[in-house]
Amino acid sequence: MQYPKTPTVDQADTYHGTVVPDPYRWLEDDNAEATKAWVAEQNKVTFAYLEKIPRRAAIKDRITKLWNFERWSVPGKRGGRYFLTRNDGLQNQSVLYTLDSLSAEPKLLLDPNKLSADGTVALSGTATTEDGNLMAYGLSTAGSDWQEWKVRDVRTGKDTSDHLKWVKFSGASWLKDGSGFFYSRYDEPDPSAALTKVNYFQKLYLHKLGTPQSADALIYHRTDQKDWGFHGSVTDDGRYLVITVTQGTDPKNRVLYKDLATPDAPAVELRMAFDASYDFVDNNGPVFYFKTDLDAPRSRLIAIDVTKPDKANWKELIPQSAETLGGVNAVAGRFVAEYLKDAHTVVRTFGLDGKPMADIPLPGLGSAGGFGGRKEDTETFYSYGDFTVPGVIYRHDFATGKNEVFRQPRVDFDPSLYETKQVFVPSKDGTKVPVFLTHKKGLKLDGTNPTLLYGYGGFNIPLTPGFAVSRLVWMEMGGVYAMANLRGGGEYGEEWHQAGTKLKKQNVFDDFISAAEWLVKEKYTSPQKLAIQGGSNGGLLVGACMTQRPDLFRAALPAVGVMDMIRFQKFTIGWAWQSDYGSADDAEQFKALYAYSPYHNLKPGTRYPSTLVTTADHDDRVVPAHSFKFAARLQACQAGENPTLIRVDVKAGHGGGKPTAKVIEEQADVLAFLVKELGVEAK
């Protein structure tokens, strides 16, 4: 491979007595002409390589054909109307509709595809008034985390004059009378650094309908706490504003509330110890219900009377169980609780007094979500999917206890040809790590199967079974798909999460490497037929594992990864990840970070796996500099003929809101790369 020449600079920093070279520091400036030229040259090499793969066109055609199926979101209900999205198959963005009844014809409310010629403007959030007549909605452009919010009259389909900018990591929550809504924003950044500048000092505002953003009332902020974030949520009864205070990505949070019945009421501090997570569920007057992991690492439900908030007065309604409690909703006069049991969903219901009621049965060992509504509702909706079942939307009737299919996708394949099982693999220290395996039935365990191992392992986020067209195409070609539930994730509660953070982050990589070794030992595959894949924190996972065990993998697919573990906190929201990663400012944590940082652990003259790094020019979550620097150094260090390519998407971001056409192009490139590098034979 002839790669573009990448200059180096004489840049080094000293951390706690250790000199850390950074020869590709100049690639951090995404606005520099030299960086733009480097990206263009790298893309030229990458796409020339990918386009010459003979089976790429056929792979893209198959992905496109399978992707062309109708799919719906889980409906929500306000003011007698149902709100839901639909994609007819290949639309770049799903379209928002309303239904006057479940049997009525959908009415178009908002089509994001008409907001840009190339489909790069995406709907990023909605919030509807109590009467269902007004909807606030957020838009994201080119995949950026920055949002603009507008308001649409549901009755006329016309927008009002309201227009809010510089919103990020925020939803909207309406006052009960629909006169305005709460949202959070940052100060306007310098335009030249909008995609890279660090984000501090979020503020919570109230926007009154029909007024300019400059007139919005500042409700809560903290000039002494630059890294606090604020989320304002109005209770269903309209009485209180619950202010959730976050600090980075740490699951622990603080809680305040305001009595909206009293003008200019102060924000009352309810829980400020930052000792656990407190997720507000609902209230009954002054009694607030929270899901919390305080004294319960797998979480429980408690009731706090805000008129007597001392811990001695709290009531436990749903105690911790053997499974991890995920979401809780108050619907139809009961609590609907979603649990994770070995990384698949189980749904139970409880009375408002906490007494167990009937479970909501699911059709298999998959993932379910939704279960929204109000206490007075008699129904709820949810989706269910797994590796071979695309998201089916169900309606559950609480009066009869019946589940019925509301919308069911039809995909052009036969699920009976495939099988899924779960195994538990011992990690380096003996910890049992769940791994899902899915593939065609009749697989021969002879060590020759091309296998794609996927993982994440961070930020208390669980990986659960889900349908993806690219996985299906991979399995159609004879591939095995393996998904490992690593420490650091949220599969088994806060203890499992903490076991993969900071000084224990190496556990995550050990878990993933152990899963790979098990696949080889059990003759599912061999190192010559094994690829690894992950995105964001999962991109870090792939980068760390391919540098620690380059002999174990034939191909690596790190997507939008965090690759420089010494400087990640210096860009946009990177500082927020210190709760999981730690910081190079701390001597002990620096030692751990430097030991696995993918960019810093590439060694010249090493034969690394064939690698396709993927990122995007508008990624302001994990800035593309991480991938730029890693790819440049990998090209310089690579020994042998394994290709080292970087694919930089344009007008795209971290992944959210990416147009269907761009997703298909990227996945066709990824699968074509795997087919070539793993020697997958046509069948």
- The residue length of the chain stands at 683
Kindly name the residue from 144, 536, 579, 627 that is annotated as catalytic. 536
Strands 95-99 and 81-87, sheet pairing:
antiparallel
Contact at 8 Å (CB) between 393 and 381?
yes
- Measured CA to CA, the distance from residue 371 to residue 336 in angstroms comes to 7
- Measured CA to CA, the distance from residue 88 to residue 105 in angstroms comes to 15
- Measured CA to CA, the distance from residue 443 to residue 451 in angstroms comes to 12
Place of tokens 């009485």: 239
654 is catalytic: yes
- Measured CA to CA, the distance from residue 650 to residue 673 in angstroms comes to 20
Q: Which helix (H) or strand (E) holds 673?
A: helix 660-677
- Measured CA to CA, the distance from residue 366 to residue 387 in angstroms comes to 8
- Measured CA to CA, the distance from residue 4 to residue 530 in angstroms comes to 28
∠ at Cα 641 (638, 642), nearest 5°?
70
> 627: closest CA among 569, 510, 542?
542
Place of tokens 């696949």: 519
Contact at 8 Å (CB) between 662 and 628?
no
> 492: closest CA among 305, 663, 296?
296
> CA torsion, points 647, 650, 652, 654, in degrees to nearest 10?
40
- Measured CA to CA, the distance from residue 498 to residue 504 in angstroms comes to 8
Strands 76-78 and 71-72, sheet pairing:
unpaired
Hey, is 212 helix, strand or coil?
coil
Strands 253-259 and 240-247, sheet pairing:
antiparallel
> 93: closest CA among 560, 535, 614, 661?
661
- Measured CA to CA, the distance from residue 260 to residue 453 in angstroms comes to 50
Write the CA distances from 445 to 450, 480, 587, integer angstroms.
Answer: 11, 11, 47
Contact at 8 Å (CB) between 362 and 368?
yes
536 is catalytic: yes
Both tokens of residue 501?
A: 């953070």
Amino acid sitting at position 634: L
Residue 187: DSSP 8-state: P
Please give the radius of gyration of the chain, using alpha carbons only, rounded to the nearest integer: 25
Bridge partners of residue 369, in order along the sequence: 383
Kindly name the residue from 207, 618, 626, 654 that is annotated as catalytic. 654
Residue 550: DSSP 8-state: G
∠ at Cα 514 (513, 515), nearest 5°?
90
Residue 665: DSSP 8-state: H
Residue 606: DSSP 8-state: B
Both tokens of residue 651?
A: 């007008």
Q: Tell me the catalytic residues.
A: 536, 654
